[in-house]
Amino acid sequence: MKTRAVILYGLLFLSVFLVLPWIGPESIDPGKIIQFLSGNNTPDGSIFWLQRLPRVILGLLAGGALAVVGAAFQVLFRNPLVEPFTLGVSGGAALGAFIAISIPKLLLTWGPFSTLQVLAVLGASLSLTLIYRLAHRQGGVSIYTLLLAGVTISIMCGGGILLLTYLSSPNALVVFQRWMMGGIDVVGFHELSALFPILLPGIGILFLHANDLNHIALGEEMALGHGVDVKIVQRDVFIGGGLATAAVVSLVGPIGFVGLIVPHAVRRLSGYDQRLVLIGSFFLGGASLAVCDALARTVLAPTELPVGIITALIGGPLFIYLLISRIGK
């Protein structure tokens, strides 16, 4: 049953990868796509290989990462309302990105990396470090303090953003507001290569502790009785989730609801085994965000909506439904 569920989630993920690059306001000739690979720089080939395919891949990776982090955090903190941005990661990343945007001289690129991405990751990393230091005690990490510290750091970063908003030029404000809406706007595969050095280790850490999360879901005392070092798992999941979220946010901005809704959907469909939940969340989260991005670039074509608007419009009602169904039980 578990193998069948993983295969179904994987087939959905693969179907989205194969189908969505063909969907868009402009129709594409398959023959010209093949010609592009042979060196004939056709417009249809450029649209497919340099615009649609990279966007679909980025949507699959970003949505999958956010959903996996949400699934792991909800178990770690034993709170169904926790998502990747609860711990102040998005606040630190947003502040770092806004610093780069508000000072045009800082907007530089080095290979696949840009100043905006580097400062966004740095802001998120500093937030994570500060939160962890505040929550760390001699006996380990206090989950309660971790949540409070995350909320506090988010408020502080929000204050820094308000200060920069007051001091920045109108052009910088427009760019930052668009970034805050979330957008999978990538051309070519150059920028995607900046995602992997941070994203892959972060997700790898979460999958490494999937079985440990099964024990922690039953309670810390039960996990300790099964030989799980709870404090180490808490630390590793916190760091891994923070790295994955920082990598995604630095490239696409803060996109909400994917990390909150998708893990709940997977648990309802496939049960509570975290080994299956994490894999299913990655596949379903990636497919969901890629589909939302396809809607964002086609529903008002030729105008493109920020994908964060689509996820909020779809995720909000779904979350309300989940709340009502939980209350009904």
C-alpha 280/C-alpha 13 separation (Å) is: 10
Which residues lie across from 113 on neighbouring strands? 110
C-alpha 141/C-alpha 235 separation (Å) is: 7
Does the pLDDT value for residue 1 go beyond 80? no
Q: What is the pTM of this model?
A: 0.91
Give CA angle at 174 (170, 175), nearest 5°: 120
What was the pLDDT predicted at 320? 82
| Range with the poorest average pLDDT among 138-142, 193-197, 226-230 | 138-142
Does the pLDDT value for residue 279 go beyond 80? yes
Q: Rounded mean pLDDT of 122-139?
A: 81
CA distances from 154 to 28, 183, 197 (A): 44, 21, 25
Q: Rounded mean pLDDT of 137-149?
A: 74
The structural domain count of the chain equals 1
CA distances from 185 to 32, 59, 215, 295, 316 (A): 23, 10, 39, 14, 23
What was the pLDDT predicted at 34? 83
Per-residue pLDDT band for 139 (boundaries 50, 70, 90) equals: low
Per-residue pLDDT band for 75 (boundaries 50, 70, 90) equals: very high
What was the pLDDT predicted at 63? 96
* Mean predicted lDDT score pLDDT of the chain: 87
C-alpha 110/C-alpha 70 separation (Å) is: 31
Q: Rounded mean pLDDT of 127-144?
A: 76
The dihedral of CA 292, 298, 302, 303: what is its sign? negative
C-alpha 109/C-alpha 113 separation (Å) is: 6
What's 231's domain CATH number? 1.10.3470.10
Per-residue pLDDT band for 138 (boundaries 50, 70, 90) equals: low
Q: What is the pLDDT of residues 203-237, one digit of tens each?
A: 999 999 999 999 999 888 888 888 898 889 988 99
Which residues have a Cβ under 8 Å from the Cβ of 37 and sit 6 or more positions away? 45, 49
- Report the SS3 class of residue 113: strand
Give CA angle at 166 (163, 170), nearest 5°: 135
Residue span of the structural domain in which 311 resides: 2-328
Provide the H-helix boundaries in 136-228: 143-167, 170-180, 196-208, 210-216, 220-225
- Is there a contact between 273 and 214 (Cβ–Cβ < 8 Å)? yes
Q: What is the pLDDT of residues 79-118, one digit of tens each?
A: 888 888 777 778 888 898 888 888 877 767 776 778 888 8
E strands, the chain, are: 109-110, 113-114, 136-137, 140-141
Does the pLDDT value for residue 141 go beyond 70? no
Rg (CA), the chain: 20
What was the pLDDT predicted at 79? 81
